[in-house]
Amino acid sequence: MSYVRPEFFLFFAFLLGVYLVVRDRSPRMALLIAASLGYYAWAGLFDLLVFLAVVVFSYCAARLAQAFPRFRGFFLFTAVAALTAHLVFWKYVPWIVAGLQTLDPAFLGGRIIALRLPLGISFFTFQGIAYLVDYWRETIVMMGFAEYLLYHSLFSHMIAGPIVRARQLLPQLRELSGPTREDLGAGAALFARGLVKKMLIADRVAPFVDMVFVSPGKWGRAALLWAAIGFAVQLWGDFSGYTDMGRGTARMLGLRLPENFMSPFLSRKPSEFWERWHITLSHWARDYVFWPLRQWALAAFATALLLGLWHGSNWTFLLWGFYLRALFVAEDVIAVSPIGRLWSRLPDALRHAVLIPLTLGANIAGIVIFRSESLSKLLEYIAALFAGPLGGAAPTAFGPTALLEHFYPAVALTFFFEALFYRRLQNREWRPFGACAGSTVVDAAARMLEATFAAWSAGFLLGAAVAATALAAIFFRQGDAGSFVYFSF
């Protein structure tokens, strides 16, 4: 059940109405559990059974560790290993078998292994691993089963994130005091913002991007470059839009989920980009992979590799992980080089004006690897980019007029969001425009937008009107809504 489908609006309107009427914590928890499991069951009974198996298994492992302190480490380590093996089985075994059959066609009798990936398996498996490791580190306490089930199953985050830690959600689940008027207004506004990102940005550029990446060899350089920029815009609008909508629904229930995007396109170096893009995954990899392995020389490499393979079983994702590591190494080498030391003495405004587009360009280059369906398609893209004509015939479906109507406004709207929301989303001391000319105007515009957004979020009636408008938009444009990209991860 997608956030952009009419049935979701009916589902959430009914849930919110009952939730506001019910005042006690226990009935509210039971209601959220039932609604969340029902929401997930919409994907299929099989998916629900796999999800429940992960939840029950990880909870039982934590309980055994609590009951038998002498074997605490054994139970928790075994459970983490089992969850990892479970994820590898579903996501990577078919890919591994296919690779082995390429070398030996007789492997497994030549049978093709095809498994349907349970929806959101990477997200809820990572949450289970995080809980077990945090419990082993004694940074969290044991949950009751109902709390643990709701922590995992809350529909606002379970399918495509953000990846929520137990310590972030458990204190809220133990209260369930319900939303304030400000929560209702802010949640509705946040949901509407995500809807704009999804339907007016991501879905507007997706057809052109898909058309180019299916057959990159047929296009000229200009189209290939615009498609790379377009996919960066599509991925940002799609995923950050989904996160905004999920966080918006949680906020309307009185729950606050962590930020997952903080103006990543205004980052000044690759490592900073990953502190602002898919933040909860980056922090998960840092806390549960990099820090435990930090004494090993390959810790950073393993972390970058995880970021690549987490997205799926494809050689392009593996290569993308290598590319990320190469960017981080280049960043570290340049920082301690004579050029880097000289560069650090230049005015902030000049450095930021150069570093922001360079970082964005480096990440867009990586996104080409990420988006390519196979290594052969990636090579076809690269060959066409460097050997093809500057122009290229555009299909009638996406000629200059269609690009003007669909593509360019979506790109412009993306950078409008990034530029004007940076003060609200970033640390207030950070100024991406430094002291350059025009920064006062940008800062004033950001202040005005913040004040407007605060008033908008706090206004319950206006928030309700925004939600009603979004509902109408969904009903009238449901045929245009595409599926969320990260549902496949």
Q: Would you place residue 52 in the very low, low, confident or very high pLDDT band (cuts 50, 70, 90)?
A: very high
The greatest distance separating any two alpha carbons of the chain, rounded to the nearest whole angstrom, comes to 70
- Answer yes or no: is pLDDT of 480 > 60: no
- Answer yes or no: is pLDDT of 462 > 60: no
Q: Would you place residue 250 in the very low, low, confident or very high pLDDT band (cuts 50, 70, 90)?
A: very high
Residue 400's nearest CA partner among 221, 223, 228, 234 is 223
Lowest mean pLDDT of 46-50, 65-69, 353-357, 417-421, name the range: 417-421
- Answer yes or no: is pLDDT of 30 > 90: yes
More confident residue, 31 or 223: 31
> Over pLDDT 70: what percentage of the chain?
77
Q: Burial level of 275, CB count in 10 A (0-12/13-18/19+)? A: middle
- Answer yes or no: is pLDDT of 299 > 90: no
Count of Cβ atoms closer than 10 Å to residue 154 Cβ = 23
Contact present, 123 and 157 (Cβ < 8 Å)? yes
Rounded Cα gap, residues 319 and 324, in angstroms: 9
Lowest mean pLDDT of 45-54, 80-89, 470-479, name the range: 470-479
CA distances (Å), origin 171, targets 140, 151, 167, 177: 11, 11, 7, 11
- Answer yes or no: is pLDDT of 419 > 60: no
Q: pTM for the complete prediction?
A: 0.82
The pLDDT assigned to 397 comes to 46
Residue type, 84: T
Q: Would you place residue 23 in the very low, low, confident or very high pLDDT band (cuts 50, 70, 90)?
A: confident
261 phi and psi angles, rounded to 5 deg = -140, 135
- Answer yes or no: is pLDDT of 115 > 80: no
- Answer yes or no: is pLDDT of 382 > 70: yes
Give CA angle at 188 (183, 190), nearest 5°.
Answer: 95
277 phi and psi angles, rounded to 5 deg = -115, 130
Q: Which H or E element spans position 263? A: none
Lowest mean pLDDT of 65-74, 155-164, 353-362, name the range: 155-164
The pLDDT assigned to 152 comes to 92
The pLDDT assigned to 252 comes to 95
Lowest mean pLDDT of 48-62, 100-114, 323-337, 366-380, name the range: 100-114
- Cβ contacts of 469 within 8 Å, gap of 6 or more: 192
The pLDDT assigned to 429 comes to 37
- Cβ contacts of 239 within 8 Å, gap of 6 or more: 160, 260, 261, 278, 484, 485, 486
Lowest mean pLDDT of 208-222, 307-321, 418-432, name the range: 418-432
The pLDDT assigned to 184 comes to 92
- Answer yes or no: is pLDDT of 438 > 50: no
The pLDDT assigned to 442 comes to 46
Query: DSSP characters for 211-227?
Result: HHHHSGGGS-HHHHHHH
- Answer yes or no: is pLDDT of 124 > 70: yes
Contact present, 369 and 322 (Cβ < 8 Å)? no
More confident residue, 223 or 478: 223
The pLDDT assigned to 294 comes to 74
Q: Where are the beta strands (DSSP E) in 280-414?
A: none
The pLDDT assigned to 133 comes to 94
- Answer yes or no: is pLDDT of 159 > 50: yes
Sign of CA dihedral 190, 195, 200, 206: positive
On average, the pLDDT of the chain sits at: 81
The pLDDT assigned to 433 comes to 37
- Answer yes or no: is pLDDT of 425 > 50: no
Q: Taking residues 444-454, report their average pLDDT.
A: 53
For residue 277, list its beta bridge partners. Answer: 261
Lowest mean pLDDT of 35-39, 81-85, 428-432, name the range: 428-432
Q: Would you place residue 396 in the very low, low, confident or very high pLDDT band (cuts 50, 70, 90)?
A: very low
Residue type, 392: G
The pLDDT assigned to 77 comes to 93
Q: Would you place residue 91 in the very low, low, confident or very high pLDDT band (cuts 50, 70, 90)?
A: confident
- Answer yes or no: is pLDDT of 428 > 60: no
Rounded Cα gap, residues 366 and 37, in angstroms: 36
The pLDDT assigned to 406 comes to 58
- Answer yes or no: is pLDDT of 481 > 70: no
Rounded Cα gap, residues 354 and 345, in angstroms: 14
The pLDDT assigned to 142 comes to 87
> Over pLDDT 90: what percentage of the chain?
34
Q: Taking residues 401-418, report their average pLDDT.
A: 61
Q: What's CA 300's distance to the chain center, in Å?
A: 21
Q: Would you place residue 432 in the very low, low, confident or very high pLDDT band (cuts 50, 70, 90)?
A: very low
